Amino acid sequence: MPELPEVETIANGVNARVRGRRITAVWTSSKPQTFKSPETEIASTLTGSRIESVRRVGKTIVMTIRLEPTLRSAKDGPPRTAEFLIHLGMTGRLLVCTPEMPVAPHTHAVLTLDDAREVRFVDPRRFGRLSIHHTDAAEESAGTITKSGRQQKFAGYAGPGSEPLAISLDDFVALFHNRRTPIKAALLNQSLLHGVGNIYADEALFRAGIRPTRQAARISHEELKKLRAALVAVLKQAIKLGGSSVSDYVDADGVRGFFQLRHKVYQRTGEPCRACRTPIKRMTLAGRGTHFCPTCQK
């Protein structure tokens, strides 16, 4: 499953390729699982609109579009922009290609652009989701929205949790206050931090020296400071790595495995810790395979 850095890589790659283009036609596959908004709504909203930007929010790709004037109704100042949300699920891919490129099996949506190129959503296992999010006009004019009384970085769709690359230390520490679950489970809880998956949770906990089973509420301020820094560092490192291979995901029609960091603990069960040579242990926590060094992580 693509994690935050992979989704960011794809969103940035698609943004660089389609920003500013107009969508002239939309085709959808009629496979009901894929569409969280009615297909007719997706097609009617996107057709004729212009793509303003493509970005990542959590593990969702958000395509902001400016609606055609004909689609705006005159009364009540309706939204001038909308957002097309693309969640890749387990196997979803978003490709930008020329029309000659054969359409892959399991293609569920094709947006035709005004330069004849196409944005295609391909998803064999159909855990991916496509939907339209209507941006509130007031939100848009303010430029920011408030959530829990705090200013959020993003206008429009903000997802359920906080953004791990943007959250302040105080807000990060507050997430775990009074939380009795193991820290690993708290890191995976998408309503707290969105976009952190199994790999980066294990890798960040190793780098911070924190045992995944520790109760979140009992982790010291100093340790949480280290954990936030470790999480940001592993995510940024992976995003940087993805930047060099973006073309493999966005341009090509082949199926490629996602890039991976050189893991320190993830899926290295029984192998020596890169810091102390103790064999890496594996356990199941919150239903997920969890990897840690019993010596380095306290």
Q: Which residues does the annotation mark as catalytic?
A: 2-3, 59, 288
Contacts of 76 (CB under 8 A, 6+ apart): none
- Supply the minimum distance, in Å, between the C-beta of residue 228 and Zn ion: 21
Smallest CA-to-CA distance from 214 within 150, 298, 100, 111 is with 298
Among 38, 275, 283, 289, binds Zn ion (CB under 5 A): 275
Using CB under 5 A, which of the segments 1-9, 58-66, 78-86, 288-296 binds Zn ion? 288-296
210 touches Zn ion by CB under 5 A: no
Of 147 and 277, nearer to Zn ion (C-beta) is 277
Of 54 and 293, nearer to Zn ion (C-beta) is 293
Tokens coding 251: 């341009």
Tokens coding 234: 């592993």
> In this structure, what DSSP letter does residue 104 have?
P
276 touches Zn ion by CB under 5 A: yes
Of 102 and 270, nearer to Zn ion (C-beta) is 270
Among 238, 273, 291, 292, binds Zn ion (CB under 5 A): 273
Using CB under 5 A, which of the segments 68-76, 85-93, 148-156, 271-279 binds Zn ion? 271-279
Residue nearest to Zn ion (CB): 273
Tell me which long-range contacts 242-246 makes (C-beta under 8 A, separation of at least 24): 242/5, 242/6, 242/8, 242/9, 243/9, 243/12, 245/9, 246/9, 246/10, 246/12, 246/13
Question: Do 121 and 130 form a contact (C-beta atoms < 8 A)?
Answer: yes
Residue type, 122: V
Window 228-267: contact mask with Zn ion (x via CB under 5 A): ----------------------------------------
Contacts of 210 (CB under 8 A, 6+ apart): 183, 219, 223, 226, 227, 297, 298
- Supply the minimum distance, in Å, between the C-beta of residue 57 and Zn ion: 35
295 touches Zn ion by CB under 5 A: yes
The site for Zn ion (CB under 5 A) is made up of 273, 275-276, 278, 293, 295-296
